Amino acid sequence: MDFEPTAEQRLLRDSVAALGKRFGHSYYVDKAKAGEHTDELWTEAGKLGYLGVSVPTEYGGGGSGITELAIVCEELAAAGCPLLLLVVSPAIAATIVAKHGTGAQRAAYLPGFADGTLKVCFAITEPDAGSNFHRLATVAHPDGDGYVLSGRKVFISGVDECSYVLVVARMADERTGRLSPALFLVPTDAPGLTVTKIGMEIVSPENQFMLFFDGVRVPADALIGGSAEAGLPALFSGLNPERITVAAMSIGTARYALERASSYVSGRSVWGRPVGAHQGVAHPLAHAAIQVELARLMIAKAAFLYDAGRDLEAGAAANMAKYASAEAAVLAVDTAIQVHGGNGMTTEYGVATLMGGVRAGRIAPVSREMILNYVAQHVLGQEKSY
């Protein structure tokens, strides 16, 4: 693994950072509080090719990997604009379609992913099963020349911004009758699909929804890969990019918080000295900065392994990166708020508005406890504890 970024990666990082700074955190917060979406930023990022960096070149993308997409996620978040749909649409949905879609599916959807004109959300979590796909209650049944989906999903991000939702359901194998995961691209305006917004105490322009599938009919070509056998490999191919890009978004937010805090404490004087000159202030910030850099290293490792096709190693690294970045982000934002004193709780200083988002990162898309279970079982060789 080479720690020196390529010239293209440096240019990408600098260019995305410049775009993010043109919009900034006040744009993000204003959109969130007005109940609007960050359409202008998304559209500009799409035109510049940043949303499609990991889409194959033959479909209009940049032909790079999750390493580059993680850079985009991190740098926009580091500018105060952590876009959750970057994780959902380019990282999860586009990766799944690119790796496991049929030729017709790739041709139909990947160009839209590449330029940002197509947004696709992802629905796996259920009220009773969580993300345990072995217990999913949403099922699909063959029906004529298509399928019928029934069930419900919860905490599905960005449905109101997306044209399709990539649904993880269970479908009986034709040979064995055994239920196994199958993925379907379902229009968000499909008859029988009811969408209900969930109230969240998070400052974000991206909303969360409950979905109800009441006999939703989709054509045969809605099934990813064209067969049920493609379901499980397709699902797993999207989960590692999800964890890596969520981690990158968290760590970008942490960087933004630390930059705000460092600027504040170096410019505010108390008792004749800058606040940051006191160890009681400087040491917590330094500690948070160290945790952030350690998490960035694990993100880079996870992305490198994924792009190299080393999936088993990437699975462990992606989970560790997600865990480390969530913990570092919560620490960084909390420390940034604390060193601001009362100003840390105001909208003006731009750090308290980050707390809900980074706190959610310890829960979703996979909780810190489930990551610890994974590491204990698959890295340390312990018996399964759940």
Residues noted as catalytic:
242
Q: Please name which of 145, 349, 334, 366 lies closest in space to residue 254, comparing C-alpha atoms.
A: 334
CB atoms within 10 A of CB 116: 22
Apex CA 75: angle with CA 72 and CA 76, to 5°? 85
For residues 249 and 86, is the Cβ–Cβ distance under 8 A? yes
Helix axes 231-267, 311-339, angle to 10 degrees: 30
Task: Answer positive or negative: Cα dihedral of 6, 319, 81, 154.
Answer: positive
Phi-psi region for residue 118, left (φ > 0), alpha (ψ -120 to 50) or beta?
Answer: beta
Apex CA 285: angle with CA 283 and CA 290, to 5°? 95
Q: Report how far residue 64's alpha carbon sits from residue 250's, in angstroms, rounded to the nearest whole number.
A: 22
Q: Report how far residue 75's alpha carbon sits from residue 18's, in angstroms, rounded to the nearest whole number.
A: 9
Spatial CB neighbours of 356, under 8 Å, sequence gap ≥ 6:
200, 201, 202, 203, 204
Q: What is the DSSP letter of 290?
A: H
Which of 342-347's residues contact partners 24+ apart within 8 Å by CB, and which partners?
Answer: 343/264, 347/29
Q: Report how far residue 165's alpha carbon sits from residue 6's, in angstroms, rounded to the nearest whole number.
A: 35
CA-based end-to-end distance of the chain: 35
Helix axes 66-78, 7-33, angle to 10 degrees: 50
Q: Please name which of 343, 334, 329, 330 lies closest in space to residue 265, comparing C-alpha atoms.
A: 343
